[in-house]
């Protein structure tokens, strides 16, 4: 196999990783009622089948990025798949609530190793050629919405025709195939000298994990409850301790000066607000289709297919060409503005609405905005870092998007519930709540467009290429 074809096979594995990481967040939705019946979940703790994955994923991403830089992205990519495999097997075999939640956390930990390593490998493979990098990032980005929609489809099919453990067992043969293919197609890398900064890793993971935990738990515990504020205070204290540790370490987990790199902080803010606007839209659009229009879970997934196809086509066919012509700043600003327009249109949904009139056109506008903004902001965030810190930059941008998604969904959920989204059976109240959710998400996307316009810079020249030594293939780690 030639080195050229080998790197495109490698990109296929990287895109598959993104596909699976996102699919694992959506595939369980249809299976939750049967898991509750078989494992004895209460109505209150059933949501933690989803949240346990998100908390572990978001909390460990920075550590995963640093591990990729220190011990090699290929090695951490493979380790992540092995951890995901083990967590998936345990989740499918679980006989009780505690084991199931622990297994989901292990899956999240595996995803936190896979995601930053995958992006670091992508930059190693394609960073020296801007045109090829744009294509690679487009394929990588398109895998995320495909994974989300595929999760809804597969979850429905598997739950109806097999049994819920197979939503987890599905990961096992895929992980085995990936682990077999990694040595043959992925570029190797040498371990770098440096310490791991275990105290920094502990405080960062505790702080991010506590913050995500508090936010996703708040709708259930109450935003004004002592529990919510105590956990948030603990998160702030841990993150403050993390910053103090990084300032005083010779070899910190996160070199804080990395945020001085032009564009990095601004691009991460754009990613954070993109996640904060997009995930609530996807969540509440599903609920509108099912609880107001009366769609089943499988039909709801089918209804989201046009939006998914447009996102993939936009990321692969439109965004790279438009970015090359107009620049990443213009595309990020325009994409967030178009996303805000689509969300604002969705806010006009009606209790007596139809898919063709109330959902399809507005969702396509929102999907176009997402496809235009995601790739340029992602590429800008990763390209702003030094090549040897590609794993760290990947961990930071993944963390920004995931934490933004969790914060956005929790905040929008509070807004939606206050407007009637928790009044099941009352179609008028439900629709009012969902409309409020879409309006809130539109405000977040519009804020992102304004901030991107103010903070992102228009580069005077092309970004520096990755040194040729970093794209050489090595068959052994």
Tens of pLDDT, residue by residue over 136-191, are 888 888 887 778 777 877 877 787 778 889 989 999 999 999 999 999 888 876 66
All residues at 6 or more sequence positions from 417 whose CB lies less than 8 Å from its CB, including other chains? 219, 433
Tens of pLDDT, residue by residue over 88-113, are 999 999 989 999 999 999 999 999 99
Higher pLDDT, 457 or 436: 436
Say if residue 440's pLDDT is above 90. Answer: yes
Instruction: Provide the pLDDT for residue 188.
Output: 74
d(CA 104, CA 91): 6
- Residue 217's pLDDT band, with cuts at 50, 70 and 90, is confident
d(CA 406, CA 106): 19
Instruction: Provide the pLDDT for residue 473.
Output: 38
Say if residue 441's pLDDT is above 80. Answer: yes
Most confident of the following: 36-45, 205-214, 328-337, 370-379: 328-337
Supply 258's token pair: 């990395």
Instruction: Provide the pLDDT for residue 173.
Output: 94
Please identify which residue in the block is written with the tokens 């599903």.
Answer: 286
% the chain with pLDDT above 70: 92
Q: What is the mean predicted confidence (pLDDT) over 334-347?
A: 97
Supply 192's token pair: 């770098």
Instruction: Provide the pLDDT for residue 190.
Output: 67
d(CA 365, CA 309): 13
Tens of pLDDT, residue by residue over 128-144, are 787 788 788 888 888 87
Instruction: Provide the pLDDT for residue 57.
Output: 84
Instruction: Provide the pLDDT for residue 477.
Output: 41
CB atoms within 10 A of CB 176: 13
Q: Which helix (H) or strand (E) holds 412?
A: helix 390-418
d(CA 432, CA 435): 5
All residues at 6 or more sequence positions from 180 whose CB lies less than 8 Å from its CB, including other chains? none
Q: Could you give all domains of the chain from N- to C-terminal order, each with its CATH number?
A: 1-183 (1.20.1250.20), 198-254 (no CATH), 260-459 (1.20.1250.20)
- Residue 261's pLDDT band, with cuts at 50, 70 and 90, is confident
Say if residue 4's pLDDT is above 70. Answer: no
Say if residue 211's pLDDT is above 80. Answer: yes
Instruction: Provide the pLDDT for residue 50.
Output: 77
d(CA 449, CA 444): 9
Instruction: Provide the pLDDT for residue 461.
Output: 47
DSSP string, 176-243: HHHHHHHHHHS---PPPS----HHHHHHHHHHHHHHHHHHHHHHHH-TTSHHHHHHHHHHHHHHHHHH
- Residue 250's pLDDT band, with cuts at 50, 70 and 90, is confident
Say if residue 475's pLDDT is above 50. Answer: no
Tens of pLDDT, residue by residue over 452-465, are 999 998 765 444 44
Instruction: Provide the pLDDT for residue 255.
Output: 78
Supply 123's token pair: 């930059």
Tens of pLDDT, residue by residue over 358-410, are 999 999 999 999 999 998 998 888 777 777 677 777 778 878 887 888 788 77
Higher pLDDT, 249 or 240: 240
Which region among 57-66, 286-295, 381-390 has the lowest average model confidence (pLDDT)? 381-390
Mean pLDDT of the chain: 84
Q: What is the mean predicted confidence (pLDDT) over 229-246?
A: 92
Instruction: Provide the pLDDT for residue 79.
Output: 96
Instruction: Provide the pLDDT for residue 462.
Output: 43
Tens of pLDDT, residue by residue over 263-277, are 888 999 999 999 899
Instruction: Provide the pLDDT for residue 372.
Output: 93
Q: Give Cα separations from 77 to 19, 70, 386, 472 (angstroms).
A: 14, 13, 20, 18
d(CA 419, CA 287): 15
All residues at 6 or more sequence positions from 297 whose CB lies less than 8 Å from its CB, including other chains? 29, 30, 152, 155, 156, 290
Instruction: Provide the pLDDT for residue 1.
Output: 56
Instruction: Provide the pLDDT for residue 199.
Output: 86
Higher pLDDT, 454 or 282: 454
């Amino acid at each position: 196999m030639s080195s050229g074809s080998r790197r495109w096979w490698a990109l296929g594995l990287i895109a598959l990783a993104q596909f699976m990481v996102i699919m694992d967040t959506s595939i369980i939705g249809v299976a939750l009622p049967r898991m509750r019946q078989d494992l004895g979940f209460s109505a209150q703790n059933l949501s933690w089948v989803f949240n346990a994955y998100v908390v572990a994923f978001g909390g460990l991403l920075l550590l995963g990025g640093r591990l990729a830089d220190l011990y090699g992205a290929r090695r951490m990519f493979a380790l992540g798949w092995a951890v995901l495999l083990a967590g998936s097997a345990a989740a499918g075999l679980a006989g009780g609530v505690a084991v199931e939640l622990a297994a989901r956390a292990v899956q999240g930990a595996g995803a936190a190793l896979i995601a930053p390593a995958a992006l670091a490998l992508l930059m190693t493979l394609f960073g020296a050629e801007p045109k090829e990098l744009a294509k690679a990032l487009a394929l990588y980005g398109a895998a995320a919405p495909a994974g989300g929609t595929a999760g809804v489809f597969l979850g429905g099919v598997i739950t109806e025709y097999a049994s819920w453990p197979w939503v987890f067992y599905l990961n096992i043969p895929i992980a085995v195939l990936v682990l077999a293919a990694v040595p043959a197609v992925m570029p190797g890398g040498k371990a770098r000298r440096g310490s791991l900064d275990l105290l920094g890793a502990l405080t960062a993971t505790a702080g991010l994990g506590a913050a995500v935990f508090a936010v996703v738990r708040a709708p259930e515990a109450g935003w004004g409850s002592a529990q919510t504020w105590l956990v948030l205070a603990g998160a702030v204290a841990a993150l403050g301790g993390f910053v103090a540790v990084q300032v005083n370490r010779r070899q910190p987990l996160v070199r804080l000066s990395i945020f001085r790199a032009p564009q990095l902080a601004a691009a991460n803010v754009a990613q954070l607000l993109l996640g904060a606007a997009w995930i609530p839209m996807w969540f509440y659009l599903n609920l509108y289709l099912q609880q107001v229009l009366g769609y089943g879970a499988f039909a709801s997934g089918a209804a989201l297919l046009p939006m998914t196809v447009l996102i993939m086509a936009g990321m692969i066919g439109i965004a790279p060409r438009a970015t090359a012509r107009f620049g990443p700043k213009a595309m990020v600003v325009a994409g967030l503005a178009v996303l805000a327009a689509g969300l604002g249109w969705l806010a006009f949904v009606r209790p007596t609405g139809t898919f063709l009139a109330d959902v399809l056109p507005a969702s396509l506008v929102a999907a176009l905005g997402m496809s235009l903004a995601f790739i340029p902001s992602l590429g800008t965030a990763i390209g702003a870092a030094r090549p040897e810190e590609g794993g760290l930059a990947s961990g930071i941008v993944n963390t920004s998007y995931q934490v933004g998604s969790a914060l956005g969904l929790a905040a929008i959920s509070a807004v939606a519930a206050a407007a009637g989204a928790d009044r099941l059976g009352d179609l008028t109240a439900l629709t009012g709540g969902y409309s409020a959710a879409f309006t809130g998400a539109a405000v977040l996307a519009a804020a992102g467009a304004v901030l991107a316009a103010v903070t992102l810079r228009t580069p005077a020249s092309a970004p520096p290429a990755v040194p040729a030594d970093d794209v050489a293939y090595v068959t052994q780690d």
